[in-house]
């Protein structure tokens, strides 16, 4: 509580309406009373968000001679104790509001690149700089390592990287072995004695004259990297600015550490999923193959495969396991490996292949279901026999037709006590492409399924004649037409798989 005499009143509403952006230290310097204080206890404000609010004690210890009586000052006068308190509180409110807004904006970022850009923008606003860069280089050496700039083009970052590492602010921070979090301040780079010649040349070329660098490090997260802000003229942040940006970067480091852990987990999941899929497609006479695969950070359950079979035949399959994440990736790998074995043994009968897979799923993965489609192809005869379990029908794309193959309606694998559905047979014409895909292609559109199917059909019908001989180009056209504006690469629970087979 503040020990304030009854003659002094603090108008809180006037405080909030003032919107005074003066910091705590500035208010103390400008409004500290001179001489003997009023007969009141020295106020001790509580600590707020790391801001040391203790009022320095008076410099004198012996009361001076009584001065001549002065007229009483009103509470709103600049030298009055009430004005001092109001200015201090207004500075705290302004600083804390700014920090709250900046940290909230950072907390809304979910991707590392977005978070790094937000850290740069917020730090530049706090220290009064216009440009800067963040060097992400985790101390554990596991990466990812990257450099992001604010107001600096890629070529500008390239120029900065030509400066010897030990001559740069971020290099000295990242090479520290004592783990200190002290900033690197260069208030006037071009006038410094001993500045590296290359650094001087780059600073003159890019037009910056001062820099302020902070480590992105905390005791819990360790050292993640360093942030550097650049000034166009000789300058350096004042104590208040350093304090605020220090608070902000400590919070930012913890947020970046969480994103880094998530990014590494996603990278591992993507790597495992890619390794469980075919590294390359086989070459079989009479057919050309191409595949496209997009895995979301929480996906991983979709697969595709192309397997050469005896007597020049070819087995094509796509499928999807329910769930997402590492467990779905593992289940997908087991099912795909099992399906390959069944295809080798009885691939000419797709119904038998999927029936065996259904039995395996019920015995080994009782908590999961899966959709699958298996096609037994004889390229020499241009004959395809396929069976599907809860899967979307293939699409035939040719000069004279673009149509879905009529398949039997069936429940997904694992949904029935015993799965069996009749197969269908069709013959693609020379030059036609059979497109197999997973439901993720349709779900990522965000449309109802009937509209998604219509969009897919329209995209296939609109394949330009100039690329109809290339199954890879056909798959790319369909993918980017159905999922425009980066939807194919956006974060999603849904994987996307396309497998295109063009018959000659």
Query: What is the per-residue pLDDT for 232?
Result: 95
pLDDT by residue (tens digit) across 162-182?
999 999 999 999 998 765 678
Find the mean pLDDT for residues 122-144.
94
Tokens, residue 446: 């965000």
Is residue 52 pLDDT above 70, yes or no? no
Tokens representing 328 are: 């779905």
- Whether the per-residue pLDDT at 484 is higher than 80: the answer is yes
Counting Cα atoms < 13 Å in the Cβ hemisphere of 418 gives 1
Contact 99, 249 (CB under 8 A): no
Mean pLDDT of 211-232: 94
Residue 26, pLDDT above cutoff 90: no
pLDDT attached to residue 179: 59
Predicted TM-score of the model (pTM): 0.64
pLDDT of 1 above 70: no
- Tell me what the mean pLDDT of segment 483-492 comes to: 79
pLDDT of residue 45: 37
Average of per-residue pLDDT across 279-305? 87
Handedness of CA 176, 178, 182, 186 (dihedral sign): negative
CA distance 478 to 268: 28
Kindly provide the b/e burial profile for residues 81-102, where b requires at least 16 CB atoms within 10 angstroms of the residue's own CB. bbbbbbbbbbbbbbbbebbeeb
> What average pLDDT does the segment 363-368 reach?
86
Which residue is associated with the tokens 């990287």?
Answer: 161
**Among the ranges given (51-60, 271-280, 428-437), the one the predictor scored with the smallest mean pLDDT:** 51-60
Residue ranges of E strands in 352-420? 370-378, 383-389, 395-397, 402-404
* Domain residue ranges of the chain, discontinuous segments joined by +: 1-54+76-108, 109-268, 277-503
Q: Is it the case that residue 145 has pLDDT exceeding 50?
A: yes
* CATH number, span 109-268: 3.30.450.40
Portion of the chain with pLDDT greater than 70, in percent: 81
pLDDT, mean of residues 283-308:
88
Q: What is the pLDDT of residue 70?
A: 47
Higher-confidence position of 272 and 133: 133
Count of CB atoms situated within 10 Å of the CB of 344: 14
Greater model confidence, 84 or 120: 120
Query: What is the band of 263 on the pLDDT scale with cuts at 50, 70, 90?
Result: confident
**Listed residue (15, 7, 2) closest to 83, CA to CA:** 15
Cα 109 from chain centroid?
7
CA distance 483 to 435: 16
| Cβ-defined contacts of 339-345 (< 8 Å, 24+) | 339/305, 339/372, 339/374, 340/305, 340/307, 343/307, 343/309, 343/315, 343/317, 343/374, 344/307, 344/309
4 has pLDDT over 50: no
pLDDT of residue 266 exceeding 70, the answer is: yes
How far is CA 495 from each of CA 270, 334, 388, 477, rounded to the nearest angstrom? Answer: 11, 17, 19, 18
Residues 394-438: pLDDT tens digits?
999 999 999 999 887 788 888 866 667 789 999 999 999 999 999
Q: What is the mean pLDDT of the chain?
A: 82
pLDDT of residue 330: 86
Residue 323's contacts (CB-CB under 8 Å, 6 or more residues apart) are 301, 331, 368
Calculate mean pLDDT across residues 106-112: 93
pLDDT of residue 410: 82
The DSSP symbol for 419 reads -
User: What is the mean predicted confidence (pLDDT) over 74-83?
Assistant: 60
My answer on whether omega of the bond before 232 falls inside 30° of 0, hence cis, is: no
Q: What order do you get walking across the sheet with 370-378 strand by strand?
A: 302-309, 313-321, 370-378, 383-389, 424-426
The token pair at 8 is 């002094």
Mean pLDDT of 42-53: 38
pLDDT attached to residue 297: 65
Averaged pLDDT, 143-171: 94
Q: What is the CATH number of domain 277-503?
A: 3.60.40.10
Instruction: At 366, list the tokens.
Output: 């009782």
- Residue 201: count other Cβ atoms within 10 Å of its Cβ: 13
Confidence check: pLDDT of 301 > 90: no
pLDDT-derived band at 96, boundaries 50, 70, 90: confident
What is the structure's pLDDT at 418? 66
User: What does the pLDDT read at residue 289?
Assistant: 97
């Amino acid at each position: 509580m503040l020990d304030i005499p009854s003659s002094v009143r603090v108008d809180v509403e006037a405080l909030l309406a003032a919107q005074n952006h003066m910091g705590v230290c500035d208010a103390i310097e400008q409004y500290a009373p001179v001489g003997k204080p009023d007969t009141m206890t020295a106020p001790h404000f509580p600590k707020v968000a790391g801001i040391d609010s203790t009022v320095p004690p008076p410099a004198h210890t012996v009361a001076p001679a009584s001065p001549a009586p002065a007229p009483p000052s009103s509470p709103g006068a600049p030298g009055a104790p009430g004005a001092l308190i109001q200015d201090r509180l207004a500075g705290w409110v302004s600083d804390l509001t700014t920090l709250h807004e900046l940290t909230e904006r950072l907390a809304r970022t979910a991707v590392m690149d977005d978070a790094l850009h937000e850290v740069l923008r917020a730090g530049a606003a706090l220290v009064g700089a216009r440009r800067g860069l963040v060097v992400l280089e985790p101390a554990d050496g596991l990466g990812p390592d990257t450099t992001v700039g604010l107001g600096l083009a890629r070529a500008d970052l390239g120029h900065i990287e030509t400066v010897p590492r030990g001559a740069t602010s971020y290099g000295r921070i990242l090479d520290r072995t004592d783990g200190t979090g002290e900033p690197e301040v260069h208030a006037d780079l071009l006038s410094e004695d001993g500045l590296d010649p290359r650094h001087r040349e780059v600073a003159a070329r890019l037009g910056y004259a001062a820099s302020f660098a902070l480590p992105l490090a905390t005791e819990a997260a360790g050292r993640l990297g360093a942030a550097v802000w650049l000034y166009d003229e000789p300058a350096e942040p004042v104590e208040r600015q350093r304090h605020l940006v220090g608070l902000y970067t400590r919070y930012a480091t913890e947020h970046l550490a969480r994103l880094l852990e998530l990014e590494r987990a996603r990278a591992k999941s993507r790597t495992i999923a890619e390794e469980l899929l075919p590294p390359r497609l086989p070459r079989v006479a009479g057919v050309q193959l191409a595949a496209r695969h997009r895995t979301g950070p929480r996906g991983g359950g979709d697969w595709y495969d192309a397997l050469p079979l005896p007597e020049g035949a070819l087995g094509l399959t796509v499928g999807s396991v329910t769930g997402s994440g590492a467990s779905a990736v593992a289940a997908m790998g087991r099912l795909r490996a099992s399906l390959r074995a069944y295809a080798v043994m009885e691939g000419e009968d797709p119904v038998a292949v999927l029936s065996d897979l259904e039995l395996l799923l019920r015995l080994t993965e009782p908590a999961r279901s899966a959709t699958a489609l298996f096609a037994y192809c004889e390229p020499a005869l241009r004959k395809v026999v396929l069976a599907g379990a809860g899967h979307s029908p293939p699409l035939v794309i040719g000069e004279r037709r673009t149509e879905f193959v009529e398949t039997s309606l069936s429940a997904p694998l694992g949904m029935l006590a015993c799965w069996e559905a009749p197969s269908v047979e069709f013959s693609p014409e020379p030059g036609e492409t059979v497109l197999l895909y997973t439901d993720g292609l349709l779900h990522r559109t965000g449309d109802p399924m009937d509209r998604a199917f219509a969009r897919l059909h329209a995209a296939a019908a609109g394949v330009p004649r100039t690329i109809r001989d290339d199954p890879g180009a056909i798959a790319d056209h369909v993918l980017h037409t159905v999922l425009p504006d980066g939807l194919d690469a956006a974060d999603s629970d849904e994987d996307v798989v396309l497998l295109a087979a063009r018959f000659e």
